[in-house]
Every structure is written in C-alpha cells, then in structure tokens.
Amino acid sequence: MQSTDFLDAIRWTDDGLVPAIAQDAESGRILMMAWMNRESLQLTAAEGRAVYWSRSRQSLWRKGESSGHVQQVKEIRLDCDEDVIVLMVEQLGGMACHTGRESCFYRVLQDGQWVTVDPVLKDPKEIYA
C-alpha cells in the first residue's frame, strides 16, 4: 500500500483543491489545467493515470473515461509554494481538449484579439458520441 503522507505537504485551497497542469512529457507542451482533491491525487499516484475533480459535477473524473483520451502519468511534480501540481503525461489519442484539439490552450492573443491557432483534430461529436 502506497503511503499518502505526500498529500499533507500540499497547500490545498479552502475548498480542498489544488490546480493541476497536464504537460506532455515528451514535447513539453501544456495540454490542460484541471483541479484535484486529495482523493483524485491519491488515485492518480496509485493508478498512473490522471484523475481529476470536476467542480461542476462534484465528482471524480478519470481523464479519458468518455473520450478514450487517457493521460498516462509519467511524473508528478509539486511547485515551490506547494500549491500547484504538474502532471507529466503521455496523452493517448493525441488530444487533451474536449474541442478535439491537442491542447486546451489553442488561442493566442494577437493585436488585442484571441486567434485560434491549433486545428481541430477530431470533431467532438465523434469523440463523445
């Protein structure tokens, strides 16, 4: 049984959450940001796949449970302030975003406007059918 002492080192929000950034372990690209609670981080460490906390549904959310785009966790990092997690992941299926893109960060600020710079790799209607 894996020790859960590492959870005590984290500075959780008043809601018991910590922001978690998923980063592609190979390319270094930021894929997405989500929230974790103690249980989701413990499960992520134990299972080796990303498990987040859905604030809207108030429930655990295993990344890829409906899309098939699972994040296999290669490494878990904690920042110097102990209040942000980075998951170094292998993104199965090449898409982290529910819009069908590689990354949720697909817009760039150009001349005061948000411009979409990444293509849709797969129509979300096909992903979540």
Quick one: pLDDT at residue 1? 53
**100 is a domain residue:** no
- DSSP 8-state symbol, 45: H
Q: What's the domain count of the chain?
A: 1
Task: Kindly report, residue by residue over 19-67, the tens digit of the pLDDT.
Answer: 999 999 999 999 999 999 999 999 999 999 999 999 999 999 999 888 8
**104 is a domain residue:** no
* CATH number of domain containing 52: 3.10.20.810
pTM assigned to the model: 0.92
**108 is a domain residue:** no
**112 is a domain residue:** no
Pairing of strands 85-91, 107-110: unpaired
- DSSP 8-state symbol, 13: -
H and E: helices and strands count for the chain: 2, 8
Instruction: Estimate to the nearest angstrom the gap between the alpha carbon of 71 and the chain centroid.
Output: 8
Instruction: Give the model's confidence band at 3: pLDDT under 50 very low, under 70 low, under 90 confident, else very high.
Output: confident
**126 is a domain residue:** no
Token digits for 26? 């190979």
Q: Which domain holds residue 31?
A: 5-95
State how far the alpha carbon of 6 is from the alpha carbons of 32, 76, 82, 89, 111, in Å.
23, 11, 11, 19, 44
Whole-angstrom distance, CA of residue 118 vs CA of residue 61 = 25
Task: Kindly report, residue by residue over 76-121, the tens digit of the pLDDT.
Answer: 999 999 999 999 999 999 999 999 999 999 999 999 999 999 999 9
